[in-house]
């Protein structure tokens, strides 16, 4: 592969290529690795966990499906399937919103909250093991900066990109 422009294609430079291979590897391996840990523990997916976590942090532990989808980095379709599963498990409930009959509010049950609290310590430990134990303070701030920049290009207007809350 060339280091410079190649015919009409703006090819990747060697620096970019190395960075891309590293990013692709992380993007491909990180979630499945965390997935496997959670699945062994509780037959739950990393995505499931994240849905529960996002819901738990919302006021009333409830959110409209659309909002929850945005916070969970998921399509509405994917979320719908997953919440149905979590509802069958007794961890969430869906109720039609009184304000707008199109809106479904997804809420965490007490059982769901308890399950999340039971899972959290080990999950946080996994995240620490896989990510933060290898990084110093500068890495962490660089990671946030770069992550947000990439996110801004993947999905312009995503809340996480602008959000600066602690």
Partner DNA sequence: CGGTGTTCGTTGAAGGCTCAAGCAATCATG
Partner DNA sequence: CATGATTGCTTGAGCCTTCAACGAACACCG
Residues within the interface to DNA (CB under 7 A): 32, 35-36, 39, 45, 47, 64-67, 69, 74-85, 94, 97, 100-105
User: Does the CA dihedral 128-132-137-141 come out positive or negative?
Assistant: negative
Q: How far apart are CA 101 and CA 122, in angstroms?
A: 39
120 contributes a contact to a copy of itself by CB under 8 A: yes
Tokens of 15: 């620096």
Tokens of 89: 């498990």
- Select the span of 3-11, 59-67, 83-91, 96-104 touching a copy of itself (CB under 8 A): 3-11
- Which does residue 58 bind out of DNA, a copy of itself, none, counting CB within 5 to 8 angstroms by kind? none
Cα-Cα end-to-end distance for the chain:
43
4, interface contact from a copy of itself, DNA, none, CB < 5-8 Å by kind: none
Which of 34, 86, 88 minimizes the C-alpha distance to 61? 86
In the region spanning residues 6 to 65, those forming contacts with a copy of itself, defined by CB under 8 A, are: 8-12, 14-16, 18-31, 33, 47, 50, 57
**Residue of 43, 49, 52 whose CA lies nearest to 107:** 52
- Rounded Cα gap, residues 3 and 11, in angstroms: 7
Which entry of a copy of itself, DNA, none binds 124, CB below 5 to 8 A by partner kind?
a copy of itself
Binding site for a copy of itself (CB under 8 A): 1, 3, 8-12, 14-16, 18-31, 33, 47, 50, 57, 73-74, 120-121, 124-125, 127-135, 137, 139-155, 158, 160, 166
């Amino acid at each position: 592969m060339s280091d410079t422009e190649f015919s009409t294609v703006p090819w990747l430079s060697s620096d970019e290529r190395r960075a891309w291979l590293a990013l692709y590897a992380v993007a491909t391996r990180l979630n499945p690795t965390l997935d496997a840990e959670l699945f062994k523990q509780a037959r739950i997916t990393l995505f499931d966990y994240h849905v529960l976590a996002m819901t738990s942090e919302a006021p009333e532990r409830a959110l409209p499906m659309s909002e929850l989808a945005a916070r969970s980095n998921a399509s509405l379709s994917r979320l719908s399937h997953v919440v149905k599963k979590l509802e069958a498990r007794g961890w969430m409930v869906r109720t039609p919103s009184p304000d707008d009959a199109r809106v479904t509010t997804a809420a965490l049950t007490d059982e769901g909250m308890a399950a999340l609290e039971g899972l959290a310590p080990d999950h946080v430990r996994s995240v620490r093991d896989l990510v933060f134990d290898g990084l110093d303070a500068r890495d962490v701030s660089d990671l946030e900066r770069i992550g947000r920049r990439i996110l801004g290009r993947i999905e312009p207007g995503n809340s996480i990109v602008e959000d600066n809350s602690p």
